[in-house]
Amino acid sequence: MARLIPNERLSDLSNEEIFRYSRHLLLPEIGVAGQKRLKAAKVLLVGTGGLGAPLGLYLAAAGVGTLGIVDFDLVEESNLQRQVIHGVRDVGRPKVASAKDRIKGINPRVNVVTYNTMLSSGNALDIIADYDIVADGTDNYQTRYLVNDACVLLGKPNVYGSIFQFEGQASVFYAAEGPGYRCLYPEPPPPGLVPSCAEGGVVGVLPGIIGCIQANEVIKLIVGPSAYSTNTACTLVGRLLLFDAWKTQFRTLTLDKDPRCPICGENPSIHELIDYEQFCGLKKAAEEEPVEIITAQELKDRMDRADPLQIIDIREPHERAIAKFPLAKAIPLGQMARRVEEFDEGVDAVFICKIGQRSVFAIRALREAGYRGRLLNLKDGFAAWAKEVDRSLPVY
């Protein structure tokens, strides 16, 4: 693999830097030359959440000279279960500001460049162009495809990680040396089919493990082969690392470059960034029948008037154990179509999930099963009810 950091960017290490990074310098695979490359490197972190937290912490500690961080979210208390770069005092602050403070607290020598914005097709190429490596710590498909495509077009390596519940993945997508993200996942799954961590949950230590693996890959890409060691670095280019935190098991799959890949294959058809919301199915198709919504306050008003209603809680049993919804009948999403006979088409049915996404699928499943009654989706789900109507209930 060709070196990513040009020699003309390298500078000497000060005595203070030699002392600080001495444990690296003692490794023949890194040594003085490798540490100089770390100092000269520019790495962009896309996301400062669960994966971006260990990436930022460990790359700063390792002496990476410039860290760019892209994020547009604010720190929430629910983030603190896994996003260890933020603290209680940071709740309500922009994540990039909190992350910058923590990184500078670990290593004041690191140049931290913040982008308090959403990465988009309009700004991705301009932002990524300034960096040697991109580390993708995002949690949505449209940004993953965007990062992949921008990295392919710019010739940058993309250090990938993803997490869900107890399972994590990591790889290095680098079109110049091996397959890209689209070689593994040519098309995104239908929107809503794969629940997010906000809906499905994630064990707090998992992003720490996967994020550290990503940080390790970044360091190996920067340092590259050493003249003082015969131990050649073996990166995750062409391999997908799978980790099951519940079983404590690792597996590695070999990935091949897809010659038909639309962006890094033999005859690419994508030559610029596209509309990723459209590609990932986030924009509603014109022919798709809309789902009628009801707000938490509107539902409360109807319940107070004792209007006839069928309130259906589609959450899983472990979610209902956290908090129950009043007067609701529990029918999990997977049972919806086969229990259609339990519904009364003459009475409005209101569907409830955690944040109002999975319940859309329940409504569509009933429609496909031939149900003709009125179906309403509680806007923003149980979370809205707990925040706007019954504040005695927990928000989870």
What tens digit of pLDDT does each residue of 144-159 get?
999 999 999 999 999 9
Helix (H, G, I), strand (E, B) or coil at 248: coil
Task: Extract the tokens encoding 216.
Answer: 């390790």
pLDDT tens-digit series, residues 190-209: 766 667 777 778 999 999 99
The Cα diameter of the chain in Å comes to 80
Q: Under a CB-based contact definition with an 8 Å cutoff, are residues 70 and 115 in contact?
A: yes
How many other CB atoms are found less than 10 A from the CB of residue 102?
20
**Burial of 248 from C-beta contacts in 10 A (0-12 / 13-18 / 19+):** exposed
What's the CA gap between 132 and 225, in Å, rounded? 17
Tokens, residue 281:
């199915």
Cα dihedral 246, 249, 254, 255 in deg (nearest 10): 20
pLDDT at residue 225, rounded to an integer:
78
Percent of the chain's residues with pLDDT above 90: 82
Q: How far is CA 177 from the centre of its chain?
A: 24
Q: Are 222 and 41 in contact (CB under 8 A)?
A: yes
Q: Given this model, what pLDDT does residue 281 score?
A: 76
Q: How confident is the model at residue 313 (pLDDT cuts 50, 70, 90)?
A: very high
- pLDDT value at position 196? 74
Alpha helices in 155-239 (DSSP H): 181-184, 197-200, 206-223
pLDDT of residue 1: 65
- pLDDT tier, 44 (very low <50, low <70, confident <90, very high otherwise): very high
Most confident of 203-217, 231-245, 348-362: 203-217
- Per-residue pLDDT, averaged over 176-198, amounts to 83
Residue 382 confidence (pLDDT) above 90: yes
pLDDT at 233 over 90: no
Instruction: Please name the helix (run of DSSP H) or strand (run of DSSP E) that holds residue 229, with its range, or none.
Output: none
Query: For residue 28, is pLDDT > 90?
Result: yes
Average pLDDT over residues 96-108: 98
| Mean pLDDT to the nearest integer, 280-306 | 83
Q: Over 70: is that where the pLDDT of 108 sits?
A: yes
Residue 159 β-bridge partners: 135, 172
What are the catalytic residues? 197, 353
The two three-digit tokens of residue 381, written as one number:
């789900």
Give all domains of the chain, ordered by start, each with its CATH number.
7-279 (3.40.50.720), 292-388 (3.40.250.10)
Query: Over the range 350-380, which residues count as b (16 or more CB within 10 Å of their CB) and which as e?
Result: bbbbbbbbbbbbbbbbbeeeebeeebbbbbb
Q: Can you give the length of the chain in residues?
A: 396
- What is the rounded average pLDDT of the residues 82-90? 97
For the ranges 125-134, 166-175, 276-285, which has the lowest average pLDDT? 276-285
Label residue 286 by pLDDT band (50, 70, 90). very low
* Distance between CA atoms of residues 58 and 63, nearest Å: 9
What pLDDT, on the 0 to 100 scale, is given for residue 190?
A: 72
Q: Would you say 341 and 309 are in contact if contact means Cβ atoms under 8 Å apart?
A: no
What is the average pLDDT value for the chain, to the nearest integer?
93
Confidence of residue 227 (pLDDT cuts 50, 70, 90): low
From 298, 300, 324, select the one nearest 313 (Cα to Cα): 324
pLDDT score recorded for residue 61: 98
